[in-house]
Amino acid sequence: MNEREIKIACPSCKGHVQFPLEMLGQIINCPHCSLSMVLELAGKKTSSAISKANIAPDTLPIFSAESLRAIKIKSSDGIQYYTVNLLEYTCTCPAFEKDHAQALPQEFGRMCKHICFALEHEKLTSFLPPIAQAMVNERHGICAGKTAYDLNGNLIYVTRSNSAGWLNVFALPRKNSKKYSRFGYNINEARWAYGIAPKIDPTLLPPPLIQKTENRNFGNALFRVFRWIAFVVFKAILAVVMIVISFVIGILFSKGKSRHR
């Protein structure tokens, strides 16, 4: 055994697991039973409290089990499969390419729908920090965003807005009745869903888009007026042309008749 290597027993199957010292604190899948385990010093009692202490509150945990490198997850339309890599937190879906890939490898923003599914499928959600667990619970349509702190100094996560202008703020309540709180905010209307706002600095939210929306509405109204004027003018010209044509036909007709007389 290498001097820098540590040998411990898997808490689930008691199988021996050997790993280099640098990997201490990481979460892997046991090579014997493939259940998740924390690489901790041998002899130390492995309780869930100790495991949880290794979890950083604002980043995704580092997994190192090779079985997590290529997990096939069915797309929500059920037609195709995407490949999730939980070692680097990547997915082959378009939403990941477009949105989530911009986040750093351990940021919560990496979690597309399929990464959330994969974490659940591999029974790894208990290794996630609470905010990330909340995001897995609400996996449908979570946009990438940023971690921040509320006015009480507690960690929160502010997502970017979706196409309808809604963003989410994830916060962890002090009371234990609920696991987390999710606040919806509409950036177009600058309002909170149900009027319930978290205690946060308003500068954490993007500036309201009301100005732009008004301009666009004004542009639309102007366009509608122009279209209406164009329509009326077209109708008027058409009427004049019809009158002229009927006049000309009338004159020609009466001339032809008079010639016969």
Q: Which residues would be at the binding site for Zn ion (CB under 5 A)?
A: 10, 12-13, 15, 30, 32-33, 91, 93, 96, 112, 114
Q: Which two tokens stand for residue 40?
A: 């901790």
Whose Cβ is closer to Zn ion: residue 15's or residue 57's? 15
Q: In the complex, what is the shortest distance from the CB of residue 184 to Zn ion, in angstroms, rounded to a whole number?
A: 22
Q: In the complex, what is the shortest distance from the CB of residue 190 to Zn ion, in angstroms, rounded to a whole number?
A: 31
C-beta separation of 112 from 95 below 8 A: yes
Whose Cβ is closer to Zn ion: residue 96's or residue 183's? 96
Q: In the complex, what is the shortest distance from the CB of residue 10 to Zn ion, in angstroms, rounded to a whole number?
A: 3
Whose Cβ is closer to Zn ion: residue 32's or residue 227's? 32
Contact partners, residue 73, CB within 8 Å, separation at least 6: 81, 82, 83, 84, 91, 114, 117, 118, 121
C-beta separation of 141 from 162 below 8 A: yes
C-beta separation of 150 from 199 below 8 A: yes
Q: Which two tokens stand for residue 146?
A: 């940023």
Whose Cβ is closer to Zn ion: residue 121's or residue 197's? 121
Cα separations in angstroms, 176 against 130, 137, 173, 234:
12, 17, 7, 69
Q: In the complex, what is the shortest distance from the CB of residue 231 to Zn ion, in angstroms, rounded to a whole number?
A: 48
State the DSSP code for 6: E
Whose Cβ is closer to Zn ion: residue 32's or residue 123's? 32
